[in-house]
Each structure stands twice: as structure tokens, then as C-alpha cells.
Amino acid sequence: MDYYPSSLQADTAQKRLAALKEIKKKISSSSFTDTYRLGNHFTRRRMLKMKQVIYYLFYTTKTSMNLNTTNIHDDVPKIKFPNVSKQAVSKARKGIDPKLFKDLYHFSVKTYYKLCKQRRTWKGFYLFAIDGSCIQVPKSKDNIEHFGLCRNRFHSREDSMAHISLLYDLLEDIVVDGSVNDYHYAERSSALKHLEYLETAGLANRAILLFDRGYPSYEFFQRITRKGYHYIMRVQSNVKSLTELDCDDKIINYTPAQRKGEEPVKVRVVHVTLDDGTDECLVTNLMDPSITPEMLKKLYFLRWGVESKFSELKNQLELEEFSGSHHLSVEQDFFISLLFMNLCSLIKSESDNCIARKLKNKKNKYQYQANRAFIIGRLKKYLVLMLCGAKPIDSALNQILEESIRRRSQIQPNRKCKRQRTQLRRRHLNNRKACM
């Protein structure tokens, strides 16, 4: 893979510092935060101010709300969080539009790319993966009405579920856009909204989009092609008109049987064999014959990076342990998690470069990288302190960087673990949630 070397990337330290400093500036600006007030919240003199609630939402941990409202006094004394009940906090956060955190997150993404002088590419293309997943949300009346219910595969229980979708830059390790919607919201609709944001952010030029087998359709091929994107998609085995072609690499004019008479879409159908002997069918509009089926196979499986991001969200960041049981709290937590995850990626990227330089001339048996879980834990400790000005941003980030370099982890290449299927989905732990 002909990626640009990391030395040609913009200074990661500059990007992470700039993003955090601008976010800090925006949170401290009443003219910015006031535009996200809902209704008449925070218009009267109250014990809880809007800025304090924002800091609390960045601070909150996956423990009980009583502990969070108590510990914030000791951990972040500078914000002078008042001694109020958890009901008061829940009521106050209902007055903050989740779009505040979505816009802060998008602002950090734009700051990153603005300062990124040389992005990594694959043969001159930028690589993005789009995928969706389901998350369990607290089973409250509000969430049931807003997100919907889903019966598990054993039909033994109904849970309140939401659908999330990510647009992920595979080579820069940045989640460019994210959405949380009704459980029954179509994946393709989420994908099209991601593409609109990609165009708005000025990142759509020379992009290859990678999709899993839930996305291919005649209409989807057409819409993406008309927008000028390149794509690679895996096709489900039941699409016989594509999967049962008598050639391993063929360009066809595709029209489904039920849509005969309509304008066909030109696609390239490639059959590849996986390491375990399984045959897979890939559809793309990359017609260049120099891009071989083997190259397309390797390129498609770079898509696994977005699956890792879902795992990071659900397991390391414990996204499903929401800090409230209202749909507003679900959306607030979701966009805060995306912002947090991207900051961790920036720190890990710089840590990995430092580790590589440090070990360059040493004859080590193994390769090493920064431990992402460790970085997450340290950033959780310092993020609010940096945002409220209790700890200088540059010194705090340098401390995390130095610690992550010292506590590096060994890279284990070609490690494969058999997926373990659980019979029942874990029930959401409502006893750990806030009252909201």
C-alpha cells in the first residue's frame, strides 16, 4: 500500500492543541453557548449555570449520578459546581440542545483537516468507510417513543434501541461524521447524509467509499455514481444477477430484473476468495484495469477500521451506559463520545510516531504501539480540567503523550480470534443511570 509516510503529515501536536483550544474558547463564550439553549432554560438566576452543566457532561463517568455530582467538586473545583440534586442536573441538561456537542465535534474535525497539510492516500485516493450499528438505550417512555423498540432474536424481550452510523477516514483514523436515529432508520439514508456532510466539509474530492453488504442497491449505485464518488461494496449472496456471473472480473450494465426498461448503471463485478476459502462478490465503479481484483480485495478489507471504531465506542468508551434516560441525553453522550474518540486518535497517532522513532535503530523482536485504552483513561481524567482552564492544555497533553510512550503495547500481527456469539443481549443497567 503506497501510503504517504507519517513524516509528511501535519504536526499532530499542532492539530490537537488547536482543536482543544478552540473548543475551550467556544464553551467559555456565552454568545456561542446561548444559541443552543432550549426553551427558557438558563434565562433566570439558577444555582446551575449552562456552562457548569456542559462541563459536567464532559466530566460524567459511567458510575451513578450521585457519585458524579459529588466527585466533580473534588476533581474539578474550578468550575464551582453547586451542591444540587441529580433531579436538578437532569432538568438542567434538558435545556441544552445536543447540536451544541455535534457542532463542537464537527468543529474539531474541520480544524484537523484545515491543519492537515498532507493527508495519507491510497494511489491518490482518500479512503472512507460508512457503516451502521445498533445500540441499546435506556428503556424509558421517551426513548421508546423517540427511537423505537426491538424484539431480540429469541423473542423473549423487547429493548429500546437506536441506530448509529459513522463516516470514518480510514487512513487518518478520524470519525468525520456520525448520526444517531430511530432504530428503523435506513442505513442508506444515513449514508447519503454522511456524503452531504463530506461535500460540505470539502472532503469529497477523490474519495473511495467502502460499504458492507447491507448497502448495495440499484438506486444506491446510481446516486453515488452521479455524485462523482468511487465505491466498493460487498454484495449479498441472494443478488443472483451479480453473484452468479461466469467471470471473476467483469464490467456490466446492471439493471435489476424488476427494473427492466430503466437506465442501467455501469458497474464492475469482482469475485474474490478469502483466506478461509469463502467466495465473496464485490461491486465497484473503479474501472481502471491496473487496479486488480487482489488490490480491491485488500482495499475492501481496510473497511474493518470502522468496525473497530464501533467496538471502541461500545466497549472502551461504554457508550451504551448512558448518563441519562432521555433521548436528549443519548444524543449528547453520543456526540461527546465521538469528539473524545477523535482526540484519543490524535494522541495515539503522535505517540505511535514517537515510539517508531525511538525504536528505529534498535533490534527489537517485536513492534510496539501506544495503548489506546490507556490514552482513553488518561484523557478522561484531564479533559474537563483542560477545557475549564484548571490545567494548561499543552502541558496536560504532553504528559499524556509521555505516559503513553512509556506504557506502549506489543503489536501482535495476524492475530485472529473466533467471534463468540452471545445468546442474549445485555440488559441496559438502568440502576446506574441518571434520572433524566
Per DSSP, 421 falls in state: P
Encode burial over 340-353: b for 16+ CB neighbours within 10 A, e otherwise: bbbbbbbbbbbbbe
Determine the pLDDT at residue 359.
Answer: 85
Helix (H, G, I), strand (E, B) or coil at 419: coil
Can you say how many angstroms the Cα of residue 436 is from the centroid of all Cα atoms in its chain? 25
161 close to 134: Cβ distance less than 8 angstroms: yes
Q: Which residue has the cell 457508550?
A: 319
Tell me the mean pLDDT per 10 residues along the chain, length 436. 38 76 92 92 85 94 87 92 91 95 94 86 94 94 92 72 96 96 92 94 92 90 90 86 82 80 88 81 92 92 93 94 93 97 92 88 83 93 94 92 91 63 50 49
- The Cα–Cα gap between 141 and 35 comes to 28
Question: Checking DSSP bridges between strand 279-284 and strand 230-235, what pairing results, if any?
Answer: antiparallel
Which residues, listed in sequence order, are joined to residue 37 by a DSSP beta bridge?
A: 96
Determine the pLDDT at residue 105.
Answer: 95
Determine the pLDDT at residue 43.
Answer: 80
Question: Checking DSSP bridges between strand 158-169 and strand 230-235, what pairing results, if any?
Answer: unpaired
Determine the pLDDT at residue 411.
Answer: 82
| Domain 100-307 fold | Transposase Inhibitor Protein From Tn5; Chain A, domain 1 (3.90.350)
| Cα torsion angle, 66, 323, 318, 198, sign | negative
Which residues, listed in sequence order, are joined to residue 230 by a DSSP beta bridge?
A: 208
pTM value is: 0.90
Domain boundaries, the chain: 100-307
- The Cα–Cα gap between 216 and 234 comes to 7
36 close to 99: Cβ distance less than 8 angstroms: yes
Q: What is the DSSP string of 129-165?
A: EEEEEEEE----HHHHHHH-EEE-TTSS-EEEEEEEE
Determine the pLDDT at residue 177.
Answer: 97
Determine the pLDDT at residue 421.
Answer: 54
- The Cα–Cα gap between 323 and 303 comes to 30
Determine the pLDDT at residue 293.
Answer: 92
